[in-house]
Amino acid sequence: MHSPTPPTSLLRALRRVMRPLVRLMLRKGVTYTYFSDMLKGVFVEVAEQEFRLDANAPTDSRISLLTGVHRKDVKRLRNQPPDVADDLPAAVSLGAHLVSTWQTTAPFCTQPGEPAPLARLASTGGERSFDALVARVSKDIRARVVLDEWLRLGIARVDEHDRVHLETAAFIPQKGFDEKAAYFGHNVHDHACAAVHNLTADGLPYFERSVHYDALSPASIARLRDAVANEGMQALIAFNTLASDLEAQDAQAPDARQRVTIGLYFYSEPTSDTSPSGDASPKSPS
């Protein structure tokens, strides 16, 4: 059961967490009225799925007591299907799998982390072609369809020799807002889940650490940004290779039902004691 009075430290943290989300919503036309109704649905959904006293579904009255949502709204929200799915869209999942295979699996890479240029057609490149890459991951979609979409999103380019090059070190579309929004939801959700687990659950905590400094010049910020982009990506590629190998090893295991997200991020802004984004940060890992 929740505490009668939420901790002030938690309320302060939630307010800070919500600021960039509200900034995004205002920029994209999501009003408070729309968001508050959507948030009611999330409160009801989480209470129904995760705060049961036994195997039976909680009553509307209990969900109303837990969430503060009016019982009439609880009944309405429980009777309507959810608006969005939690999983990544199929096209995004396929794209991530293709990029991972391209980066880690011979003959599509020269070594792990170095995707090779691929002949566009199997008729000219054989097993080291974009056709073969797509066929390795899925038999249900044509390579041409994938390539056209990747060219639109800026993920791939075709050179004068009709070879396909990977333009991003991970599946991060440069142009498609819907695809980037899907990754935004996936990554921020999983990061938040790890942080919430560490605040509320017993047992082994998830790894969640950062370093933060507040007195750096723009030149130093640029140097750090480049270092994170280069060295951080190498770390992620190494984790990706290990995860790919382990998934292949676990292919026949009956308990291979766990998913994982491993992330790395970088952010910088001007330091100000009166900045709405929060207080100056300590100079240490945390």
Domain edge (last residue) among 62, 83, 104: 83
Residues 152 and 218 in one domain: no
On whether both 79 and 101 belong to a single domain, the answer is no
Say if 150 falls within a structural domain.
yes
The domain boundary, picked from 113, 148, 166, lies at 166
Examine the domain organization and report whether 67 and 100 are in the same domain. no
In a domain, 281, yes or no: yes
pTM of the model: 0.67
Which structure tokens are listed for 192?
């938040």
Helix (H) or strand (E) holding 235: helix 233-249
Say if residue 13 is in the same domain as residue 52: yes
Q: What's the pLDDT at 111?
A: 85
In this structure, are 95 and 144 located in the same domain? Answer: yes
What is the model's pLDDT at position 276?
44
CB 189 within 8 A of CB 210: no
- Per-position DSSP letters for 190-225, written without gaps between them: HHHHHHHHHHH--SSPPP---EE-S---HHHHHHHH
pLDDT at 44: 93
pLDDT number for residue 91: 62
Same domain, 156 and 234: no
222 lies in some domain: yes
Q: Examine the fold and report which residue of 166, 191, 225 is the final residue of a domain before the chain moves on.
A: 166
pLDDT, position 192: 94
- The pLDDT, as a whole number, for residue 283 is 53
The Cα–Cα gap between 156 and 123 comes to 20
190, part of any domain: no
In this prediction, residue 60 carries a pLDDT of 92
Q: Could you tell me if residue 30 is inside a domain?
A: yes
Has residue 200 been placed in a domain?
no
For residue 56, what are the domain limits? Answer: 1-83
User: φ, ψ for residue 28 (rounded to 5)?
Assistant: -105, 15
Looking at the structure, do residues 78 and 105 belong to the same domain, yes or no?
no
Q: What's the confidence (pLDDT) of residue 282? A: 44
Residues 25 and 54 in one domain: yes
**Are 96 and 114 in a shared domain?**
yes
- Asked, for residue 242, whether it belongs to a domain, the answer is yes
Q: How many domains does the chain have?
A: 3
Q: Are residues 99 and 58 in the same domain?
A: no
Same domain, 64 and 111: no
- Token digits for 49? 């799925």
**Dihedral sign, Cα of residue 98, residue 104, residue 109, residue 114:** positive
Please state, in angstroms and rounded to a whole number, the distance separating the CA atoms of residues 159 and 140.
26
- Residues 161 and 120 occupy one common structural domain: yes
Each residue's pLDDT expressed in tens, for the chain with a length of 286 residues:
455 688 999 999 999 999 999 998 888 878 888 899 889 999 999 999 898 888 888 999 999 999 999 999 999 999 887 665 556 566 667 887 888 889 888 899 988 878 999 999 999 999 999 999 999 988 888 999 999 988 887 889 999 999 999 986 666 666 677 778 888 888 999 999 999 999 998 789 999 999 999 999 999 999 999 999 889 988 988 898 898 889 889 988 999 999 999 999 999 999 875 444 444 444 545 6
pLDDT value of residue 144: 93
